[in-house]
Every structure is written in structure tokens, then in C-alpha cells.
Amino acid sequence: MVVLVTGASSGIGQVIADHLSSKGHVVYGTSRSIQTGEYGFNTITMDVTDISSVRTGVELIIQQHGHIDAVINNAGIGILGALEYIPADDIKKLFNTNVVGMVNVCQAVIPFMRKKGDGKIINISSIGSEMGLPYRAPYSASKAAVDRLTEALRIELGSFGIRLCSIQPGGVATDIEKNRLKAAMPSDSPYQESFTRATKVINDSVSKGLDPRDIAILVEKLIHAKRLKRTYRVGKTKEKFAVVIKRILPSFLFENMLKKNYQI
């Protein structure tokens, strides 16, 4: 299969691209900073927020192979901070990458998949899309948008043989902290103490998180699957169970659980 993986210069994307390449797939990994020759898969410099950059990359693959069988929309960034202090430009950057970037890639590949009558688009979301995470409000909102776009496109594109799903990981052991946007907080901020405690919980969930290879293995299974469910949730039992509990408990009880978890 010919597979396009965005955000493949590090983290989950790199692990997915490496794994798929090791299984014999023709993999093209992209990012704004990816360097040719440093990876075990084909690389293309691509900025998902720039539609012309995306179309150039997609057309290059089409010229080489005539088709793209699967796309893994993994490119994304995180954000951390009290919403009161997060600059609007950072929120725009987050949504441009996590949401608009995904749309740009879809718009570039859909015509080729539709013409072929076949294709898979797998969007990397987050369990955090299912609930408003404190001090990560824009991130939760952006991943919720990814899920709703995926849901709508499943209906729009199904008759053309194009299948979509979203994967919702919990905490994953990657270097997301390095690229995460962070809002400066005044030293006298009333959020300071709870933010410090919550940040430790957040960082611990990453450092002790899921092995990204588990996601890569799932992706490899999905690109071969005849049918795709709307959502695949991957994480620790506690993380996955939180989604179920939210649907059952009254909102104030679930919010109290989140407060306790994040020590707010």
C-alpha cells in the first residue's frame, strides 16, 4: 500500500511511519521540518496549514505511484495554560494545525481516492476530545472537531468507497511536551497552585503513557480492514473508562472526578 503519514518527524507519526514501512508498505512521512535521509521511510517537507504545500506533496506521491491508499492525519500540536491567558494567535495556530491542517490533507487526497473508488483516512484524535480537559481547553475542542469532521465525512464519502475513522489515544509516551504551546502565567495568578499540580498530572500521564507502537500496530490493522468503526479508543483502562462514566454520571459528579484527578 502507498501510505501518507503527516507529522512524521517525531512522536506517534514517526513510529507509525517506521512500523508501516517495516511491514513493506510504501510510506511517505511529512512535516514542516522533516529531513531527507534521516528516516527509514520516504519523506516530504509539507506544512499542513498551507494548502498549496499539501497539494504539492500529494501530487508528488500521485506522480510516483498513481494513487494513495491510506492517509494517517497525525500532524498536531498541544497547548497548556489557563484559557484566560492563552493568546488568540496560539489558539489559531492550534486549530490551523489540528483541524484546518487535517481538512487541507483530506481535500487534497479525496479527489484521487474518489476517482479510484477506494481509500482510507485515519485521523488521530484524542480521548481528550470526549471531555473538556482543564488547562487544555482549546486542545480538547480541536480534537472534538476532528471527531465530528470524521463522522460527517464517513457519511459524505462512503458511497465513493472512501472509509474513515478516528483513533483516540490516551496519554502516550512521546516528546509532545517539546512542541506544546504554553501560555505564560503571571506569578500572582490565582490559577498558579492548581495549574502547577495539574501540569504534573498531565506530564506524568505522558511519561508513563502508552507505547506509541501500540497505536502503530492498530493503524496497520486498520489499513487492511474491510470495514472501519467510527472510533477506536486506545489507552489505559482508567482513560477509556472515563468516557463511559461521563455518559452515565450527572455532569457535576463527572466534573468533580476530573477536579480530583487533576488536583484542582
Active-site choice (9, 21, 53, 142): 9
Q: Which residues contact 44 (CB under 8 A, 6 or more apart)?
A: 28, 29, 30, 34, 57, 60, 61
Active-site choice (120, 143, 191, 232): 143
Query: Is 9 among the catalytic positions?
Result: yes
Q: How many domains does the chain have?
A: 1
Of 138-152, 172-186, 236-250, which gets the smallest average pLDDT? 172-186
pTM of the model: 0.94
Residue type, 242: A
Distance CA 231, CA 78 (A): 21
On whether the CB atoms of residues 2 and 65 are closer than 8 A, the answer is: yes
Percent of the chain with pLDDT over 90: 89
Active-site choice (28, 135, 139, 262): 139
Active-site choice (53, 125, 126, 205): 125
The winner for highest mean pLDDT among 33-37, 108-112, 170-174, 260-264 is 108-112
Residue type, 97: T
The answer to whether residue 14 scores a pLDDT higher than 70 is yes
Query: Is 205 among the catalytic positions?
Result: no
| 86: phi then psi, degrees, rounded to nearest 5 | -75, 120
Residue type, 252: F
User: 92, 161, 174: which is closest to 126 by C-alpha?
Assistant: 174
Q: Give the CATH number of the domain where residue 177 resides.
A: 3.40.50.720
The answer to whether residue 176 scores a pLDDT higher than 90 is no
Residue type, 52: S
The answer to whether residue 177 scores a pLDDT higher than 70 is no
pLDDT tens, residue by residue, 125-175: 999 999 999 999 999 999 999 999 999 999 999 999 999 999 999 988 876
pLDDT tens, residue by residue, 212-234: 999 999 999 999 999 999 999 99
Q: Which residues contact 39 (CB under 8 A, 6 or more apart)?
A: 8, 14, 17, 18, 29
44-54: average pLDDT = 97
Distance CA 30, CA 17 (A): 10
Range of the domain at 206: 2-261
Query: Is 92 among the catalytic positions?
Result: no
